[in-house]
């Protein structure tokens, strides 16, 4: 197996965000949310709704370039100067894995001298060097997986398939390849929808229900 991958459902996202909301309400009254783009954008927007915080902005961190592959050190895209004087800020991301992205964001936000800063992620992996104040679920590092969030399905499946689809394969064979290489269990309807869209976008070629990436490989 290359590495494990898991599909995250919208129900998981709702459950984790509602757990974060409950923890925040019990201990902290933020007046501003900073979502880390891109992974933290949706959870930040959900928490902006459920915590009644209209002041929502985002800053961009970059760390994992291609699915499950780190691109060197985490970086923070220059966010410029933020006026956070007196603000109580909640920083939100999808997951703390190495923790480097959240640490960078936290240090930057702190440097802007807000009144208070707390951090929240939906998933927190035990190996992370940064521990968020609030998280939806703790994941033991021995259960590490690449979590395919609902907003990253196309990008992740494209990257996973590019690793395993060398020749031609039927939908059933694609499913088996994903299971064998990434222990990924994916519903037929989701895989079918995504593959059909890949075909429409020219990322995969369909020949009477047999799929290949030949044209893409040739053009790269």
20 binds ligand AMP (CB under 6 A): no
- Residue 92's alpha-carbon distances to 51, 204, 215, in angstroms, are 13, 35, 40
**Contact range with ligand AMP by CB under 6 A, out of 84-92, 96-104, 190-198, 208-216:** 96-104
- Would you give the distance in Å from CA 81 to the centre of its chain? 26
**Could you tell me how many residues of this chain bind ligand AMP (CB under 6 A)?**
15
Q: Which of 16, 134, 135, 146 binds ligand AMP (CB under 6 A)?
A: 146
Name the residue with the smallest CB distance to ligand AMP. 39
- Token look-up 């679920």 returns 137
7 binds ligand AMP (CB under 6 A): no
CA neighbours closer than 13 Å in the CB half-sphere of residue 85:
2
Q: How many CB atoms lie within 10 A of CB 198?
A: 20
Q: Which of 23, 37, 50, 98 binds ligand AMP (CB under 6 A)?
A: 98
Q: Which of 33, 43, 101, 105 binds ligand AMP (CB under 6 A)?
A: 101
135 binds ligand AMP (CB under 6 A): no
**Binding pattern for the stretch 41-70 against ligand AMP, x by CB under 6 A and - elsewhere:** ----------------------xx------
CA dihedral 70, 103, 76, 150 (to 10 degrees): 60
List all residues 6 or more positions away from 165 whose beta carbon is below 8 Å from its beta carbon: 174, 177, 204, 211, 212, 213
Calculate Rg over the CA atoms of the chain. Answer: 19
**Contact range with ligand AMP by CB under 6 A, out of 43-51, 89-97, 171-179, 188-196:** 89-97
According to DSSP, residue 207 is labeled E
Instruction: Compute the distance between CA of residue 84 and CA of residue 75 in angstroms, rounded to an integer.
Output: 21
**Binding pattern for the stretch 149-188 against ligand AMP, x by CB under 6 A and - elsewhere:** ----------------------------------------
List interacting residues with ligand AMP (CB under 6 A). 39, 63-64, 74, 93-101, 146-147
């Amino acid at each position: 197996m290359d590495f494990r991958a898991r599909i995250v459902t919208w129900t998981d996202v709702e459950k984790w965000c509602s757990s974060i909301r409950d923890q925040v309400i019990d201990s902290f009254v933020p007046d501003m949310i900073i979502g880390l783009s891109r992974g933290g954008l949706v959870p930040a927007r959900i928490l902006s709704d459920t915590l009644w915080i209209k002041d929502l902005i985002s800053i961009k961190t970059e760390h994992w370039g291609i699915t499950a592959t780190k691109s060197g050190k985490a970086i923070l895209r220059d966010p410029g100067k933020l006026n956070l004087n007196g603000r109580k800020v909640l920083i939100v991301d999808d997951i703390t894995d190495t923790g480097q992205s959240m640490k960078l964001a936290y240090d930057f936000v702190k440097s802007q001298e807000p009144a208070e800063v707390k951090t929240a992620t939906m998933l927190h992996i035990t190996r992370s060097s940064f521990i968020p104040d609030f998280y939806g679920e703790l994941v033991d590092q021995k259960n590490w997986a690449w979590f395919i969030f609902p907003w990253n399905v196309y990008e992740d499946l494209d990257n996973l398939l590019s690793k395993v689809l060398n020749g031609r394969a039927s939908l059933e064979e694609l499913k088996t390849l994903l299971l064998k290489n990434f222990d990924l269990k994916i519903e037929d309807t989701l895989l079918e929808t995504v593959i059909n869209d890949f075909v429409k976008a020219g990322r995969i070629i369909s020949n009477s229900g047999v799929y290949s990436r030949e044209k893409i490989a040739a053009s790269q």
